[in-house]
Amino acid sequence: MRRSIRLLEPMIVGRRVQRLVQPDDDTLVLELYGWDDEAESGNKIWLVMSTHAKLGRIGVLNDAPTAPPWPPDFAAFLKARLARGRLAGVRLVNDDRLASLMIEGKEGTFELVLSLMGPRSNLYALDADGKVRAALKDSGTAVGESWQNPPKPENAGEGEDRWTAGEDGQFLDKLAAHYAKEAGKLKAHELRHRLESALAKELAFATRRTDKIAVELQDAKDARDKKRYGELLKQVMTNVREGDTHVTARDYETGEEVKIPLDPKLTPGENLDRYFKKYHKGLIGTNMLGQHLEITKSHVADILKLQAELGATHDYEGLCDFAERPLVKELCDKHCPKDEPKRPPKKKSERKPVPGRMMPRRYKTADGLEIWVGKSDAGNDYLTTKLAAGNDWFFHIEGYPGSHTVLRTGGRKDPPQESVLEAAELCTHFSKLKDASRVDVHVAPIKHVHKPKGSKPGLVHVSKGKTIGLRRDPKRLERILDARITE
């Protein structure tokens, strides 16, 4: 790692983080844009940091990595804070397998610490106070804790360099080629394991299915004995009485006496029908199960053939072609499905506070529900189109202007009658017919109330609903007006 960082430092320091990609659970790639001494124009460098137990490293990639459909949590966290940030420095920590990158982002300076510890390797994001803000993998260091560098090993020093014979100018390229080859071997091994596992599971399943059908087929063939019992029972029907548990008949083909079991709850005729029904059912089952047995045996043979072909396939490209066969692909999806990246849940947008001038009058009904009444034309629109829910009830008097009145039902389809009458009283009170003794009030769910495009404030179109004939009650009106919510 020491040599990698020494060569990377002049290449990457000062560059901008153009993209952050987390192609898998072990790797983070920074796409760095900037200029070097030899290039006349800007170029890109793909800096890879891998925490894989066998492929852990810091280096460069020759090609841009493929990003997943949605960034995982760690990549999303860094993207929000470090995109377009400047890479200010890179160093080795304690001459150990720890690499540190300092990136100046929109929320200040962050430090990425790559810790290569075999299976316990990880990548941490630290804030300017040195506290862990995020980690590529779950670890013993909790988010929010202060980062502590491991103590410097007593035997820390120059490690073995497998590329001592190579020049510095070729080192990073050789490193990239080596790990690309190792990654290919690992991918081939993982793919082979997945294919072998899928075929083995399917073979076990198909073998169990074949054995089960064979047993069922034998049981179905035994149904032919039912026909024999039925034919013999015909011969001795006159000897059978209701309640008998058996009857004896002579089989003239063999000369033997056959004891035929009977159901004492059935009549002689019903016992006879029962035997022939079982025979016909078994006959149909024999034909059907025989076909199924041949199909499952053929399927077992196909799986064995695929296993032999897989054993003879050694290169990664051949394994990929093998995995794309329709039957193989189906079995892999069935027994060894891949973990598909999940779309992160959408954050619920916080509801904006209601502007003071749009806040409706609020009243509490005798049943505990709320009635909201608009204060102005603009307030009416805001109440009806933004505040009210689909199952709330809208009250208005056709042909007469007035404040929009909404009974908040809390999702109820049938709110209490007294609350409905109180809402109708308020609707009438805040209209041109406030002094009328009888009024027809139209009521409809809010979902049937629409604002015509381009219409003037306060004007809505109501479809469906019903009409309530309200006989005014001064005491009811007084009670609901006194129940205004002032908070």
CATH class for the region spanning 2-151? mainly beta
Neighbours of 79 (CB within 10 A): 15
Q: How many CA atoms lie within 13 A of 352 on its CB side?
A: 6
**pLDDT at residue number 160:** 56
| Inter-residue contact 38 to 47 (CB < 8 Å) | no
319 to each of 188, 193, 216, 298, 313, how far by Cα in Å?
Answer: 7, 11, 38, 24, 6
Neighbours of 288 (CB within 10 A): 14
Handedness of CA 472, 478, 483, 484 (dihedral sign): positive
CA 360 to the chain's CA centroid:
40
DSSP β-ladder status, 405-408 and 393-396: antiparallel
**pLDDT at residue number 154:** 59
Spell out the residues 6+ positions from residue 288 whose beta carbon is closer than 8 angstroms to its own.
Answer: none
Burial class (CB in 10 A: 0-12, 13-18, 19+), 231: middle
3-state secondary structure the chain: CHHHHHHHHHHHCCCEEEEEEEEECCEEEEEEEECCCCCCCCEEEEEEEECCCCCCEEEEECCCCCCCCCCCHHHHHHHHHHCCCEEEEEEECCCCCEEEEEEEECCEEEEEEEECCHHHCEEEEECCCCEEEEECCCCCCCCCCECCCCCCCCCCCCCCCCCCCCCHHHHHHHHHHHHHHHHHHHHHHHHHHHHHHHHHHHHHHHHHHHHHHHHHHHHHHCCHHHHHHHHHHHHCHHHCCCCCCEEEEECCCCCCEEEEECCCCCCHHHHHHHHHHHHHHHHHHHHHHHHHHHHHHHHHHHHHHHHHHHHCCCCHHHHHHHHCCHHHHHHHHHHCCCCCCCCCCCCCCCCCCCCHHHCCEEEECCCCCEEEECCCHHHHHHHHHHHCCCCCEEEECCCCCECCEEEECCCCCCCCHHHHHHHHHHHHHCECCCCCCEEEEEEEEHHHEECCCCCCCCCCEECCCEEEEEECCHHHHHHHHHCECCC
Buried b (16+ CB within 10 A) or exposed e, 437-473: eebebbbbbbeebeeeeeeeebebebeebeebebebe
Give the C-alpha separation, 403 to 392, whole Å. Answer: 16
| Inter-residue contact 282 to 226 (CB < 8 Å) | yes
Give the C-alpha separation, 356 to 438, whole Å. Answer: 34
Give me the amino acid identity at 160. Answer: E
**pLDDT at residue number 264:** 92
Give the C-alpha separation, 107 to 87, whole Å. Answer: 14
- 183: nearest Cα among 337, 17, 76, 65: 65
Give the C-alpha separation, 304 to 347, whole Å. Answer: 49
Q: How many CA atoms lie within 13 A of 415 on its CB side?
A: 26
**pLDDT at residue number 401:** 87
Residue keyed to tokens 């800007």? 42
Domain residue spans in the chain? 2-151, 180-335, 357-482
pLDDT string in tens for the chain (487-residue length): 777 888 888 888 999 999 999 998 899 999 999 987 666 678 899 999 999 988 888 988 888 888 888 888 899 999 999 999 999 999 988 766 899 999 998 889 999 999 988 888 999 999 999 999 999 988 767 778 888 876 665 555 555 555 555 565 567 777 777 777 887 788 888 899 999 999 999 999 999 999 988 887 876 777 777 788 888 888 889 889 989 999 999 888 888 898 989 999 999 999 899 888 888 777 766 777 888 889 999 999 999 999 999 999 988 889 999 999 999 999 999 998 876 656 656 655 556 677 888 899 999 998 889 999 999 999 999 999 989 988 899 999 988 889 999 999 988 888 999 999 999 999 999 999 999 999 999 999 999 999 988 888 888 888 888 999 999 999 999 999 999 988 6
405 to each of 103, 299, 362, 420, how far by Cα in Å?
Answer: 56, 69, 10, 11
**pLDDT at residue number 159:** 52
